[in-house]
Amino acid sequence: MLNTFRSALACLLLLWLPMLQAADSGWLQSPTNDHAKVRLRADTSQAGETRLLLSVELQKGWKTYWRSPGEGGIAPAIKWRGDPPPSATWFWPAPQRFDVAGITTQGYHDDVTIPMVIKGPAPARLAGTLTLSTCSNVCILTDYAFNLDLSAANDVRFNHDFAQAMGKVPIDSGLTDNLRVGYRNGELQISAERNAGANWHQPALFFDTLPDADIGKPTISHSGAELQARVPVSDGWGDAAPDLRGQTLTLVITDDGLAQQTTLTVGEPLAVSSSGGVTLWQAVLMALVGGLILNLMPCVLPVLGMKLGSILQVEQRDRRSVRKQFLASSAGIVASFLVLALLMTALRLSNQALGWGIQFQNPWFIGFMVLVTLLFSANLFGLFHLQLSSGLSTRLATHGGQGMSGHFWQGAFATLLATPCTAPFLGTAVAFALAAPLPVLWGMFLALGIGMSLPWLLIAAWPALALRLPRPGRWMNVLRLVLGLLMLASSLWLLSLMTNHIGVQATLVIGGALLLGLLLAVWRRYGARSAGIAGASLLVVTGLTLLTLSLTANLWRQPLQDRVTWQPLSEQAITQVLAQHKRVFVDVTADWCVTCKANKFNVLLRDDVQQALMADDVVALRGDWSRPSSEISAFLQRRGSVGVPFNQIYGPGSPNGVVLSPLLTRDAVLQTLSAAKGTEQ
């Protein structure tokens, strides 16, 4: 009896109390968008303010946006009607992150309720138009007009629903009281320590927009209570980002169902020690291995052969001299990598693009390398011995002298020839180095130099390996000729890179002039008979090569013909293709990239790979980094890459993209393409 009386009294009070009033628009749906519906409710039970709840329900696969949508999208907004129009404070629940085709956005899926508060006396009515952007493979911008009568019937659940919605709004503290943000060129760096010694589990970061800057997807690593994150920043147009130091940044950090919002000033760079989940010691190991593998690249092998050839030319070979020579070459390699570190430091401080091998985009550097390799070739042919411009008497290609400068410059020259090559592990190590603080960058390039010099240091540690080579004899002339031809081929290949800058005709004229000059040097050094033999040999080799190619055309023409219709690479192109439920094959290459050429002839031009790339649901996009391109530099940086080749595959089954190894294999390309097809085809 008592319980019945209490229930009746509660119902009577709810019906009697005039303050518990709320207005409800009901669920609104537009005839042009059946993927979303919205509802607005208002309450005037709190003195001096009107509370509102905006509820959005989305169909599966659709999303809407947070107050800062990220790299794309439009935040929900209300255009109020009235005189004067009310001013509402929005309280945004913690969002989620959506990543498609390299673009990161922040928002909500399924359903979300956003609380709002309007300060001041309650008006009689609230009217306006809600503009809501909803996206799946396409985006729809929809207007919902509403008119709320604040004298409408009671909503006894409003207080409960409002409190529940506010419970999802980030608070000012709770997760971390030790949060720091730093900035260096193109990257925000964040460190956070979890409160009360708790551990991070699945943390996420979301950022408010900063003026003239686009903030990308953070790369987060955490161990125990420590969290570190790196966040790429650009200006949104592919150019360098502005300096964010001193600006105010608002961010939301979430973990374990908790969300904290913090506003703080961006400071100087922090010592973030990870890159994409790669720890410092792992990156150093990759640098050592990547540098070691560079010795196996065709760019470097001729120089290593020259080094061994120089040992053979010494009549009195002893362990001490061999050790000193190879240590000098190792010093040249390490010193050259430190010079590269200095170059990267200067580029970073001057806000320029960073990348492995980007010096080959400069025609003056290419021209310098053409001359150096040509001089090395002439030296191996015995035409002359080049003296160092510094006045030292040591020959550039050592012929048994006691000086060590020639060996040092051989190591430096090997490093220069290695830079257009991308070896396994090298890309990750260089990307880590270029994203790290300057002291770590220098340490990583030092590790790369040590890794590349390991074979040279091996011979320095055990000179007997070199001393077991055969004694000098007539066969040495054949070896010198072979090495000279290899170096001449390197020089002509480097010259071919000039076609992007001066055109094919001018390149052919320069190449003909260089070969003619080489023949004249042979005539002057060895006489007309030797020059004639060399010229005739060159013509015979060229003729036999052309004849062989013509006779075997039926065997090689079809497999090596690129029948794929390549389209220009852009983020927009990737997004459009994915919207059509198709697959995307991305190829970023450069004429100066030796590994790119190997991938092309060994994998991409194979008939089965060509057939896969020509499928109806596959679109092939290619970016050419032979010359400087801010768009391609930004494209690579967003994906944590700093060099070419770069290959990535998108599709319904791989919407975020799968990055392939720098050295492509047929199986990897075909299997990844197949997996990207998904199950919706």
Place 496 in a pLDDT band, splitting at 50, 70 and 90.
confident
Q: What integer pLDDT is reported at residue 276 of this predicted model?
A: 45
Contacts of 189 (CB under 8 A, 6+ apart): 181, 182, 183, 228, 229, 230, 231, 269, 270, 272
pLDDT digits (tens, 9 = 90+) for 502-555: 877 888 888 788 778 777 877 777 777 766 766 666 666 665 555 554 555 454
Bridge partners (DSSP) of residue 64 are 108
Q: Exposed, middle or buried: residue 123 (CB in 10 Å: 0-12, 13-18, 19+)? A: middle
State the DSSP code for 276.
Answer: T
The answer on pLDDT for 131 being more than 70 is yes
The answer on pLDDT for 185 being more than 90 is no
Kindly report the CATH number that applies to the domain delimited by 176-265: 2.60.40.10
DSSP H or E run through 388: none
Domains 21-166 and 176-265 share a fold: yes
pLDDT digits (tens, 9 = 90+) for 570-601: 888 888 888 888 999 999 988 777 678 878 88
Domains of the chain, residue spans: 21-166, 176-265, 280-499, 503-551, 567-676
**Which residue type sits at 504?**
V
pLDDT digits (tens, 9 = 90+) for 455-490: 778 877 777 666 665 555 565 566 666 766 767 777
Give the whole-angstrom CA distance, residue 119 versus residue 162.
16
Contacts of 660 (CB under 8 A, 6+ apart): 647, 648, 649, 668, 669, 672
Q: Taking Cα atoms as reference points, which of 253, 175, 105 lies closest to residue 571?
A: 105
Q: Which CATH architecture has domain 21-166?
A: Sandwich (2.60)
Both ends of the chain: CA-CA distance in Å? 66
**Which residue type sits at 21?**
Q
Q: Taking Cα atoms as reference points, which of 54, 23, 51, 169 lies closest to residue 120?
A: 51
The size of the chain, in residues, is 681
The three-class DSSP label of residue 568 is strand
β-strand 33-43 against 63-70: which pairing, if any? unpaired
Beta strands in 508-665 (DSSP E): 567-568, 583-589, 618-624, 646-651, 654-659
Contact 366, 372 (CB under 8 A): no
- Token couple for 400: 């048994």
Contact 354, 344 (CB under 8 A): yes
The answer on pLDDT for 367 being more than 60 is yes
State the DSSP code for 59.
Answer: -
Question: Model-level pTM?
Answer: 0.46
* Residues of the chain above pLDDT 70, percent: 70
pLDDT digits (tens, 9 = 90+) for 594-640: 678 878 888 898 888 999 999 999 999 999 888 877 788 778 877 76
Q: What integer pLDDT is reported at residue 537 of this predicted model?
A: 66
Contact 231, 187 (CB under 8 A): yes
**Which residue type sits at 60?**
K
Beta strands in 82-151 (DSSP E): 88-90, 96-100, 103-109, 111-119, 125-135, 139-149
Neighbour-count burial for 62-81, b at 16+ CB within 10 Å, e otherwise? bbbbbbbbbbbbebbebeee
Which has the minimum average pLDDT: 303-307, 321-325, 410-414?
A: 303-307
Q: What integer pLDDT is reported at residue 133 of this predicted model?
A: 93
Neighbour-count burial for 289-310, b at 16+ CB within 10 Å, e otherwise? bbbbbbbebbbbbbbbbbbebb
Give the whole-angstrom CA distance, residue 182 versus residue 230.
10
- Token couple for 650: 């998108």
pLDDT digits (tens, 9 = 90+) for 277-297: 456 677 677 777 777 776 666
Superfamily of domain 567-676: Glutaredoxin (3.40.30.10)
The three-class DSSP label of residue 649 is strand
Q: What is the mean pLDDT of the chain?
A: 76
